[in-house]
Amino acid sequence: MTFPIADRLQVVKPSPSMAAKVRVDALRAAGVEVIDFTIGEPDFPTPDHIAQAGITAINQGVTRYTASTGTLALRQAIVDKLRNENGLDYTVANIIVGGGAKQVIFSAFAATINPGDEVIVPAPYWVSYPDMALLHGGRPVFVTCHPANGFKLTAQALENAITPRTRWLVLNTPNNPTGAVYTHDELVALAKVLEKHPNVLLMTDEIYEHFVYEGVKHACPAAVSNVLRDRTLLINGLSKSYAFTGWRIGYGAGPADLIKAINLLLSQSTSCASAISQAAAVVALSGPQECVSQNVSNYEIRRNLIVKLLNDIPGISCLKPDGAFYVFPSVEGLLGRKTPDGKKLTSDIDVMNYFLDSAKVATIDGTSYGLSPYLRLSFATSIETIERGCRAMAQAVQCCTD
């Protein structure tokens, strides 16, 4: 018999980045060497002093349940971090810790979205926002952010998208997949629009906040408007900044009543985040930060290299991102060309598949992120991998005909 599955799952797609990883892993298992630009995961190890804190926690028996909101020590470390780095004055009652930032976003939607509520999602977007909204009965409203505007939402576009059913605006800065970083003035302009619409909540995903380059500064949206702070949920975590992905620690900061509602859901689902990981997270946030700045410096070198090499490939055009560790090159110049086996490239999906099949280079299509014809490539990988991958793509392009 076919096992009965809930109807709500019919609206959800698998994560494209996770699907790409599965495809790459299958090829590697079959003995194929693949150059992988798909997964947004730091290639550096978790810094030694942070990893040691986890080991110490195990040795000291810190292996029990914690409060579902997170340990008091970690929530206080988050409060201190937000005050010192972002200029935000919260208490531990405003903080919730989850098993990764994704869990906090999911739970926030579950706690606030009623059927038919709208969630404004600027495109390009991180792939999980729309599906999480759909899963909870919401309707994602996509607002295309063009490269002419730096792939960023404008105040006028936001105003045009808001309706009486709008529940959330989701703002991701620095952005995945484009690396766009909103300036203070741009955030002020968006805040002025939202201040006129008290029914709209603001979710800010700032997981890449430390990855900004060439003097660009991360501006925290909750800090630009006192009016908005009481209806803003700030999402962040340790996965990217501290090469902490597998430890699974994310957090939210927001109004106490919203935090309480999210906590109710966590108490009935995961109970709490890993006690061991939380202990290590306290050391990560409270300890020396040179490990973060060194990684950012390394990524800036890689960013500059991959942008140059991609722009050297005829038919590919790549803007230099201000933040995160992705590039989002246009492949419009490749559309209409024919591959050596006579297949015509008609979309970014075709280009993605051609690079994987012909060059053994794995990327992700821009269509999955809400804007085509683009590809997303992560430069959270080695210089040697970037050089080999771009060389292989250039050779594949040379084999195409007009």
Angle at 62 between CA 60 and CA 63, to 5 degrees: 125
Give domain 7-45+291-398's CATH architecture.
Alpha-Beta Complex (3.90)
d(CA 402, CA 395) in angstroms, rounded, equals 15
The tokens of 106 are what? Answer: 């999911």
Within its chain, how far is the Cα of 298 from the centroid? 20
Whether residue 365 contacts residue 348, with contact meaning beta carbons closer than 8 Å, is answered with yes
d(CA 274, CA 165) in angstroms, rounded, equals 37
The pTM assigned to this predicted structure is 0.95
d(CA 20, CA 9) in angstroms, rounded, equals 20
DSSP state of 208: T
3-state secondary structure of 343: coil
Class of domain 48-286: alpha beta
Task: Kindly give the confidence (pLDDT) of every residue in the chain, 402 residues in length, as a single tens digit, with 9 standing for 90 and above.
Answer: 678 888 888 888 777 767 777 888 888 888 989 999 998 899 999 999 999 999 999 999 999 999 999 999 999 999 999 999 999 999 999 999 999 999 999 999 999 999 999 999 999 999 999 999 999 999 999 999 999 999 999 999 999 999 999 999 999 999 999 999 999 999 999 999 999 999 999 999 999 999 999 999 999 999 999 889 999 999 999 999 999 999 999 999 999 999 999 999 999 999 999 999 999 999 999 999 999 999 999 999 999 999 999 999 999 999 999 999 999 999 999 999 999 999 999 999 999 999 999 999 999 999 999 999 999 999 999 999 999 999 999 999 999 998
d(CA 322, CA 183) in angstroms, rounded, equals 11
Measuring CA to CA, which residue among 394, 396, 392, 374 is closest to residue 384? 392
Whether residue 306 contacts residue 312, with contact meaning beta carbons closer than 8 Å, is answered with no
Terminal CA-CA length for the chain: 51
